[in-house]
A and B are shown apart, each in its own frame.
Chain A
Amino acid sequence: MIELRTSPHMKGALSLPQIMRHVIYALLPICAFSIYQFGISALALITVVTLSCIATEALFNHLSNKKNSLNDYTAVITGILLALTLPPGFPLWMGAVAGFIAISMGKTLFGGMGFNLFNPALLGRAFVQAAFPVAITSWTPTGMADRFTQFIPSSLTLPFTAPTAVDGFSGATPLALQKFEDTLTPNSDLILGFSSGSLGETSSLLIVFCGAYLIIRGFMGWRIPLAIILSTILISGAFYLLDNSYPSPLFMLTSGGLMLGALFMATDPVSAPVTPMGMWLFGFLIAAMTIIIRLFGGLPEGIMYAILFANASVPLIEAIAQPRKFGQVATKKSGESK
Chain B
Amino acid sequence: MSILDLFKNKTFSHGIHLPDKKEHTRNQKIRRLPFAPELIVPLTQHFGAPAKAVVSPGQEVVRGELIAEADGFMSVPIHAPASGVIKEIELYPTAKGPKTEAIIIKTWPGASQRMADFDPVNIPSLSHEQLIQAVQDTGMVGLGGAGFPTHVKLSVPAEYTIDTLVVNGCECEPYLTTDHRLMLESTEKLLHGISILMNALGAKQAIIGIEDNKMDAVNAIKDHISGFEHIQVQAVQTHYPQGSEKLLIKVLLGREVPSGGYPYQVGVVVQNIATITQLGELLPTNQGLIERVVTVTGTGVKKPGNYLIPLGTPIRFLLDYVGFSGTANHLILGGPMMGSTVASLDVPITKPVSGLLVFNEQSIEKVSDEIYPCIKCARCVDACPMHLNPSMLGQLAAKREYDPMMETYNLMDCFECGCCSYICPSNIPLVQYFRIAKSVLRERPREEV
Q: Is A133 an interface residue (CB 8 A)?
A: no
A325-B386 in contact (CB<8A)? yes
A327-B413 in contact (CB<8A)? yes
Q: Is A187 an interface residue (CB 8 A)?
A: no
Interface of chain A, main secondary structure? loop
Q: Is B205 an interface residue (CB 8 A)?
A: no
B364-A9 in contact (CB<8A)? yes
Q: Is B55 an interface residue (CB 8 A)?
A: no
Name B1-41 residues within 8 Å CB distance of A: 16, 18
Q: A113-B372, A114-B374, A326-B385 are in contact. Are A10 and B256 (CB under 8 A)?
A: no
**Cα(A275)–Cα(B435), bound, Å:** 23
In this complex, how many residues of chain A approach chain B with their Cβ under 8 Å: the count is 46
Taking the closest CB of chain A, its distance from the CB of B433, in whole angstroms, is 10
Q: Which residues of chain A are within 8 angstroms of B386 by Cβ–Cβ distance?
A: 325-327
Q: Which residues of chain B are within 8 angstroms of A331 by Cβ–Cβ distance?
A: 258-261
Q: Which residues of chain B are within 8 angstroms of A330 by Cβ–Cβ distance?
A: 256-259, 261, 266
Q: Is B153 an interface residue (CB 8 A)?
A: no
Name B422-442 residues within 8 Å CB distance of A: 422-427, 429, 431-432, 435
Q: Which residues of chain A are within 8 angstroms of B114 by Cβ–Cβ distance?
A: none
Q: A269-B376, A270-B375, A330-B257 are in contact. Are A10 and B385 (CB under 8 A)?
A: no
Q: Is B340 an interface residue (CB 8 A)?
A: yes
A6-B422 in contact (CB<8A)? no
**A3 contacts which of B246, B341, B372 (Cβ < 8 Å)?**
B341
Q: A11-B365, A14-B425 are in contact. Are A327 and B431 (CB under 8 A)?
A: no
Q: Which residues of chain A are within 8 angstroms of B421 by Cβ–Cβ distance?
A: 8, 11
Q: Is B87 an interface residue (CB 8 A)?
A: no
Q: Is B418 an interface residue (CB 8 A)?
A: yes
**Cα(A8)–Cα(B338), bound, Å:** 6
A13-B337 in contact (CB<8A)? no
Q: Is B152 an interface residue (CB 8 A)?
A: no
A274-B425 in contact (CB<8A)? no
B332-A9 in contact (CB<8A)? yes
Q: Which residues of chain A are within 8 angstroms of B388 by Cβ–Cβ distance?
A: 323, 325
Q: Is A221 an interface residue (CB 8 A)?
A: yes
Name B136-153 residues within 8 Å CB distance of A: none
* Stretch in contact with the other chain, from A15-23, A86-94, A173-181: A15-23
Query: Nearest CB to that of B16 among chain A residues?
Result: A12
Taking the closest CB of chain B, its distance from the CB of A307, in whole angstroms, is 15
**Cα(A223)–Cα(B258), bound, Å:** 29
Kindly supply a per-residue 1/0 record for chain A positions 319-338, scoring 1 wherever the CB is within 8 Å of any chain B CB and 0 otherwise: 00011111111110110000
**Cα(A323)–Cα(B385), bound, Å:** 12
Q: A10-B365, A13-B367, A326-B387 are in contact. Are A318 and B378 (CB under 8 A)?
A: no
Interface of chain B, main secondary structure? loop
**B330 contacts which of A9, A15, A318, A329 (Cβ < 8 Å)?**
A9
**Cα(A274)–Cα(B379), bound, Å:** 8
Q: Is B336 an interface residue (CB 8 A)?
A: yes
Q: Which residues of chain B are within 8 angstroms of A274 by Cβ–Cβ distance?
A: 376-378, 381, 389, 391-392
Q: A7-B339, A9-B364, A114-B374 are in contact. Are A327 and B259 (CB under 8 A)?
A: yes
Q: Is B329 an interface residue (CB 8 A)?
A: yes
Q: Is B226 an interface residue (CB 8 A)?
A: no
Q: A16-B425, A323-B381, A327-B246 are in contact. Are A9 and B256 (CB under 8 A)?
A: no
Q: Is A272 an interface residue (CB 8 A)?
A: yes
Q: Which residues of chain B are within 8 angstroms of A323 by Cβ–Cβ distance?
A: 381, 387-389
Name B248-292 residues within 8 Å CB distance of A: 250, 256-261, 265-266
Q: Which residues of chain A are within 8 angstroms of B410 by Cβ–Cβ distance?
A: 325
**A7 contacts which of B257, B366, B418 (Cβ < 8 Å)?**
B418
Taking the closest CB of chain A, its distance from the CB of B14, in whole angstroms, is 9
**A19 contacts which of B331, B374, B377 (Cβ < 8 Å)?**
B377
Q: Is A72 an interface residue (CB 8 A)?
A: yes
A3-B330 in contact (CB<8A)? yes
Q: Is B327 an interface residue (CB 8 A)?
A: yes
**Cα(A72)–Cα(B370), bound, Å:** 11
Q: Which residues of chain A are within 8 angstroms of B372 by Cβ–Cβ distance?
A: 16, 72, 113-114
**A15 contacts which of B329, B368, B391 (Cβ < 8 Å)?**
B368
Q: Which residues of chain A are within 8 angstroms of B330 by Cβ–Cβ distance?
A: 2-3, 5, 9
A4-B341 in contact (CB<8A)? yes
Query: Nearest CB to that of B380 among chain A residues?
Result: A274
Query: Nearest CB to that of A321 among chain B residues?
Result: B389
Q: Is A279 an interface residue (CB 8 A)?
A: yes
Name A1-56 residues within 8 Å CB distance of B: 1-19
**Cα(A324)–Cα(B422), bound, Å:** 22
**Cα(A7)–Cα(B333), bound, Å:** 11
Q: Which residues of chain B are within 8 angstroms of A334 by Cβ–Cβ distance?
A: 258, 261, 265
A115-B373 in contact (CB<8A)? yes
**A11 contacts which of B329, B340, B367, B382 (Cβ < 8 Å)?**
B367
Q: Which residues of chain A are within 8 angstroms of B431 by Cβ–Cβ distance?
A: 6-8
**Cα(A86)–Cα(B11), bound, Å:** 47
Q: Is B343 an interface residue (CB 8 A)?
A: yes
Kindly supply a per-residue 1/0 record for chain A positions 261-286, scoring 1 wherever the CB is within 8 Å of any chain B CB and 0 otherwise: 00000000110111110010000000
B336-A8 in contact (CB<8A)? yes
Taking the closest CB of chain B, its distance from the CB of A225, in whole angstroms, is 14
Name B390-410 residues within 8 Å CB distance of A: 391-392, 408-410
B381-A10 in contact (CB<8A)? no
Q: Which residues of chain B are within 8 angstroms of A12 by Cβ–Cβ distance?
A: 16, 422-425
Q: Please, could you name 9 A-B residue pairs with CB atoms under 8 Å apart, sorted by A?
A: A2-B341, A7-B431, A11-B422, A16-B425, A16-B427, A19-B425, A114-B374, A275-B389, A279-B378
Residues of chain A at the chain B interface (Cβ within 8 Å): 1-19, 72, 112-115, 221, 269-270, 272-276, 279, 318, 322-331, 333-334
5 shortest interchain CB distances as A-B pairs: A114-B373, A8-B418, A327-B259, A330-B258, A274-B378
